[in-house]
Amino acid sequence: MIDRRRLVAGASTILVAPFIPVAAQQAKVPRIGVLLIVDLERTRAQLREELRQLGYVEGQNVLIEFRLVPAGQAERLPDLAMELVGLKVDVIVAQFTAAAQAAKAATTTIPIVMAAVGDPVEAGLVVSLARPGGNVTGSAALAGELAGKSVQLIKELLSARRIAVMASSTNPFTKPFLDQIQLAAGLLDVDIQQIMIGSAEELDAAFAQVSKNRIDAVIVQPSLAARGAAEFALKHHVPALSVPRWFAEQGGLMSYGPIFADLYRQSAIYVDRILKGAKPAELPVVQATKFELVINLKTAKALGITVPQSMLRRADKVIE
């Protein structure tokens, strides 16, 4: 005789079981890899906040894997990029040109969202801004062109004739960065001294040498503009300028560049679209359109520099 209750129970098990893996698949939490060159808690906080605004809460419905390369140590990027690939992240956010290149070299399948790279076409990251192709898209900071503007601002403020440029010896963006500075220097009759930095540990000695040589001012490449650079500039009594706003906020004399919060917001938007099925090749690279001048008046006074009112009026922020 067939036990009808046992048969019904068995049938229920058969019916329910196939739905378990489907539910598990739907509950999969996406994993985002973030490759940073300049680490600031603000950078991490901005990315987290922009993702939160889009509905992603870290530890709940998204996992974020941060990997950091200290300033001037770009040679470590390939290993960290491969580490993110090994974690099988769903998308990689790469800050600045060197990180984006390392990520692209590590994978041709995982989508990569650039965050504030220099010139992605010249760097070989995308085919064109409108149609990136491949697995890379994101935002461009136009930092090469801004390097030339840095020379102009220093010349205007200090009537400078000799300017040192601290540039990374391992960053692929260094050449276009220096090219733009040399171009501007030629037009403004300014002599440029290049100081190549291999690691962040060299910054203190480099600023000491600049001070000893009585160079009028220093331009710091964005990938080197970590907290230490601004602090060393002030320590050695050297007027210094860089692209990121945080450089001036941490004690540098000036910064002029894109609004990085806007670029990180765009990165988060693209991460969201990619996680929802968009292809990087079909998402055009977004270029920075808003720029800001920040002057640290407290640093200017410490250096004995009088900033003219005309320049203060043009500043988007004055730190007093």
More confident of the two residues 200 and 86: 86
24: pLDDT strictly greater than 60: no
Q: What is the predicted pLDDT for the residue at 39?
A: 65
Amino acid at 129: L
Q: Report the distance separating Cα 1 and Cα 309, nearest Å.
A: 101
pLDDT in tens, 96-114: 888 999 999 999 999 999 9
The DSSP annotation for 212-234 comes to HTT-SEEEE-GGG-SHHHHHHHH
Domains of the chain: 30-142+259-291 (3.40.50.2300), 143-258+292-319 (3.40.50.2300)
Kindly report which listed range (22-36, 188-202, 220-234) carries the lowest average pLDDT score.
22-36
Average pLDDT of the residues in 208-216: 93
Q: Over range 200-223, report the average pLDDT.
A: 92
User: For the residues 71-92, what does the mean pLDDT come to?
Assistant: 90
Q: Contact, 168 vs 224, CB < 8 A?
A: yes
Asked if pLDDT for residue 57 goes beyond 90, the answer is yes
**pLDDT on residue 22:** 46
Percent share of the chain, pLDDT over 90:
66
Rounded Cα gap, residues 265 and 2, in angstroms: 65
* Residues 163-198 pLDDT 10s: 999 998 887 788 888 998 999 999 999 999 999 998
Cβ 265 vs Cβ 45: under 8 Å: no
Residue 260 buriedness (CB in 10 A; 0-12 / 13-18 / 19+): buried
Confidence of residue 254 (pLDDT cuts 50, 70, 90): very high
Contacts of 80 (CB under 8 A, 6+ apart): 35, 67, 68, 69, 102
- If you search the block for the tokens 């160079």, which residue do you land on? 215
pLDDT of residue 82 exceeding 50:
yes
Calpha distance 66→49 (Å, rounded) = 15
Could you read off the pLDDT of 38-54 as tens digits, one per residue?
A: 766 778 888 999 999 99
pLDDT at residue 260 greater than cutoff 60: yes
The mean predicted confidence, pLDDT, of the chain is 88
Contact predicate 113/279, CB 8 Å: no
